[in-house]
């Protein structure tokens, strides 16, 4: 009997020694290890045990943590993730590489990659969780993704086994894929191929650990692309991952790849960009490439930490402040503005700055890519001058009406236009036009459409409805998807009759003398959309003192909530209102940096 008791005592001592040994080993491992009792539905009930690493990482004492519900620590806010994990555990009883988010005592999030296994003891079920802290990696990954998402080029990041890690937003849009559809696949699988390309460059890049650029034709995309492969190396020279950048070779190079490790690696990558690139944090330049130093004529050490406002002209500071505030608050991507800029020797150049919201070292930041567009601006300015020279400055029917126009492009070249034709001394036809697109292409479309309008009028078509329908048929046939918005009107001074037909520009303002403004609607789709489009017509009889206002959608704010403008229009002459509107739009440019859209108006007052 005594021997039995001694045997039991010896066994208990062995168990205590065994538990002591495993606890000692457990507390020495670098992972977070804890055991949770779970219900039959694999729902966490309470903590059973954990190592010291868990306590130190979460900021709790052992006595505190043992009393806390697991749901207060396991931050599974996404119910779909929670269901997925628990379903997998129920089926497999082991789940590898599950990402968990733990919440510490001070409400900080700790990201962990975990192995979870289910075991039973004394008719109870338990979950053993062995987790590795990947918080720093997740922050760096988010920073890299944020910076890459600010780049308009297609960026693809590959693991060392050539599988895809992730694309930037331009990449997902370019391939029309989601992150779930591409992650872990080989690059050629994204193109629906079964094997790698014959001219694949990955093996060469891995062998040489050097950047490689080449031009490639991708038949699946029917594009010639400039492709750059960049190996990203760790401190000891090992290959971390490969970043691939694709761009249509008709575009200029803007940015190369940006890595995730450190400030120096960021700089190494953006130094390969052909344009000046800076990262702005709290209005200070936190990072810049060599091109930025050359542009600002400043040494790198002097540029870093300097206030970004002091590098721009005084007249832009108010607008810059508003732009920066909006980009940060609304997390905007690719906001583009143009500025005049002084370089060494007091030489004035034109620059275009593309701003994008990013995360940089855990802070909200702005990525600014600055491009010298002086030569392009010079060419565009010539085109704009040519466009302005074709604008009508003298209007017909001066015995019957006074006519004033407002014309202010959102950019240098406008997609708006107007023309009033004199059919005879008692009859005129007018068109106000807004073509799709901006810049040179819009200007070319305007010129082409102006010729079409002239041909219609010259053929003897003087009814607005007939003109609009004929133009629609021509645009459907020749313009493909270059839709055009117009408002066509005629004025017969013998009968004092105004006819207005709308096609995309569907409203105008009419004011009887001494009365309030009336908004008139003329429904009709854009020209060029459908063969059988229907258009509406308004007929109005006018008399001395009446006013009519035709305008493009850049001036829609007149119709909305700005009662001050409408009150001013009621008593002002069209000449006074033109000057008021010109000043109003100029102030808007100074305040915001640019107009949202081209602004064009033709105002008529009956004598």
CB 522 within 8 A of CB 506: yes
> Is 472 or 203 the better-scoring residue by pLDDT?
472
- What count of other Cβ atoms lies within 10 Å of the Cβ of residue 420? 21
Best-predicted range by mean pLDDT (68-72, 94-98, 230-234): 68-72
pLDDT of amino acid 280: 93
Can you tell me the mean pLDDT for 360-380? 84
Return mean pLDDT, the chain. Answer: 81
The Cα–Cα gap between 53 and 37 comes to: 19
**Residue carrying the six token digits 């001066």:** 398
Examine the pLDDT at 91 and tell me if it is beyond 50: yes
Examine the pLDDT at 254 and tell me if it is beyond 50: no
Best-predicted range by mean pLDDT (164-173, 443-452, 501-510): 501-510
pLDDT of amino acid 583: 87
- What count of other Cβ atoms lies within 10 Å of the Cβ of residue 392? 16
Can you tell me the mean pLDDT for 213-224? 75
Examine the pLDDT at 5 and tell me if it is beyond 60: no
CB 287 within 8 A of CB 273: no
pLDDT digits (tens, 9 = 90+) for 530-570: 888 899 999 999 999 999 999 998 887 777 655 667 777 77
Can you tell me the mean pLDDT for 196-222? 79
Give the burial string for 227-255 (b: 16+ CB within 10 Å, else e).
bbbbbbeeeeeeebbbbbbbbeeeeebbb
pLDDT of amino acid 41: 66
Closest to 486 measured CA to CA, from 506, 473, 505, 469: 505
Which stretch of 123-132, 231-240, 252-261, 265-274 has the lowest confidence by average pLDDT? 252-261
pLDDT of amino acid 235: 66
Examine the pLDDT at 9 and tell me if it is beyond 50: no
The Cα–Cα gap between 471 and 455 comes to: 10
pLDDT of amino acid 521: 93
pLDDT of amino acid 89: 61
pLDDT of amino acid 154: 85
pLDDT of amino acid 507: 92
CB 257 within 8 A of CB 166: no
> Is 432 or 350 the better-scoring residue by pLDDT?
432
Please state, for a pLDDT cut of 70, what percent of the chain lies above it: 82
Can you tell me the mean pLDDT for 12-27? 58
pLDDT digits (tens, 9 = 90+) for 169-195: 888 888 888 888 887 788 778 777 777
pLDDT of amino acid 509: 92
Instruction: Tell me whether residue 38 is exposed, middle or buried, using C-beta atoms within 10 angstroms of its C-beta: 0 to 12, 13 to 18, 19 or more.
Output: buried
Residue 425 DSSP one-character state: T
What domains can you pick out in the chain, each with its CATH number? 25-133 (3.30.450.20), 153-253 (3.30.450.20), 261-372 (3.30.450.20), 380-606 (3.60.40.10)
pLDDT of amino acid 96: 65
pLDDT of amino acid 511: 92
pLDDT-derived band at 242, boundaries 50, 70, 90:
confident
pLDDT of amino acid 30: 78
Closest to 157 measured CA to CA, from 142, 146, 171, 143: 171
pLDDT of amino acid 253: 38
> Is 217 or 401 the better-scoring residue by pLDDT?
401
Which stretch of 133-147, 266-280, 349-363, 525-539 has the lowest confidence by average pLDDT? 133-147
CB 528 within 8 A of CB 492: no
pLDDT digits (tens, 9 = 90+) for 558-601: 776 556 677 777 778 899 888 888 888 888 877 776 788 889 99
Instruction: Tell me whether residue 302 is exposed, middle or buried, using C-beta atoms within 10 angstroms of its C-beta: 0 to 12, 13 to 18, 19 or more.
Output: exposed
Examine the pLDDT at 288 and tell me if it is beyond 50: yes
């Amino acid at each position: 009997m005594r021997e039995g008791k001694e045997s039991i005592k010896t066994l208990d001592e062995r168990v205590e020694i065994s538990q002591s040994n495993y606890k000692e080993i457990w507390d020495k491992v670098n992972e977070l290890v804890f055991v949770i009792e779970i219900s039959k539905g694999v729902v966490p009930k309470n903590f059973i045990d954990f190592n010291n690493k868990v306590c130190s990482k979460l900021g709790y004492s052992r006595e505190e943590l043992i009393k806390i519900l697991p749901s207060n620590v396991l931050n599974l806010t996404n119910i779909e993730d929670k269901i997925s994990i628990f379903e997998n555990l129920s089926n497999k009883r082991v789940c590898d590489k599950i990402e968990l988010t733990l919440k510490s005592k001070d409400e900080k999030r700790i990201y962990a990659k975990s192995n979870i296994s289910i075991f039973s003891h004394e008719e109870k079920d338990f979950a053993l969780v062995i987790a590795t802290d990947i918080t720093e990696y997740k922050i760096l990954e988010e920073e890299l993704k944020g910076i890459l998402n600010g780049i308009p080029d297609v960026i693809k990041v590959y693991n060392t086994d050539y599988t895809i890690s992730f694309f930037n937003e331009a990449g997902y849009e370019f391939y029309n894929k989601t992150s779930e559809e591409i992650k872990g696949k080989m690059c050629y699988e994204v193109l629906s191929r079964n094997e790698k390309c014959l001219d694949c460059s990955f093996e060469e890049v891995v062998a040489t650990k050097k950047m490689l650029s080449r031009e490639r034709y991708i038949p699946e995309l029917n594009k010639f692309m400039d492709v750059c492969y960049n190996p990203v190396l760790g401190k000891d020279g090992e290959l971390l991952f490969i970043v691939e950048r694709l761009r249509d070779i008709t575009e200029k190079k803007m940015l190369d790849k940006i890595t995730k490790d450190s400030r120096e690696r960021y700089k190494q990558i953006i130094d390969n960009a052909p344009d000046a690139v800076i990262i702005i944090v709290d209005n200070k330049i936190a990072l810049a490439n060599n091109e930025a130093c050359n542009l600002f004529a400043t040494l790198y050490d002097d540029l870093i930490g300097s206030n970004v406002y002091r590098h721009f002209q005084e007249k832009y500071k108010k607008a810059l402040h508003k732009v920066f505030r909006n980009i940060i608050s609304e997390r905007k991507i690719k906001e583009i503005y143009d500025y005049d800029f002084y370089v060494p020797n007091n030489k004035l150049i034109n620059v275009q700055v593309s701003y994008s919201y990013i995360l940089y070292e855990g802070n909200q930041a702005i990525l600014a890519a600055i491009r010298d567009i002086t030569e392009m601006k010079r060419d565009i300015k010539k085109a704009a001058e040519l466009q302005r020279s074709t604008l009508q400055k003298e209007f017909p029917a001066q015995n019957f009406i006074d006519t004033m126009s407002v014309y202010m492009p959102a950019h240098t070249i406008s997609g708006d236009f107007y023309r009033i034709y004199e059919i005879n001394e008692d009859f005129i036809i007018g068109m106000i036009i807004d073509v799709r697109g901006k810049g040179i292409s819009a200007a070319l479309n305007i010129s082409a459409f102006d010729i079409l309008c002239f041909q219609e009028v010259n053929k003897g078509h003087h009814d607005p409805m007939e003109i609009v329908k004929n133009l629609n048929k021509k645009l459907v046939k020749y313009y493909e998807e270059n839709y055009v918005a117009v408002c066509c009107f005629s004025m017969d001074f013998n009968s004092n009759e105004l006819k207005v037909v709308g096609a995309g520009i569907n409203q105008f303002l009419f004011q009887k003398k001494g009365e309030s403004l009336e908004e008139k609607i003329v429904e009709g789709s854009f020209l060029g959309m459908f063969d059988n489009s229907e258009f509406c017509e308004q007929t109005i009889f006018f008399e001395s003192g009446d006013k009519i206002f035709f305008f493009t959608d850049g001036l829609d704010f007149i119709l909305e909530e700005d009662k001050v403008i409408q009150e001013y229009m009621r008593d002002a002459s069209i000449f006074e209102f033109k000057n008021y509107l010109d000043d109003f739009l100029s102030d808007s440019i100074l305040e915001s940096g640019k107009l949202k859209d081209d602004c064009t108006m033709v105002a008529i007052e009956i004598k």
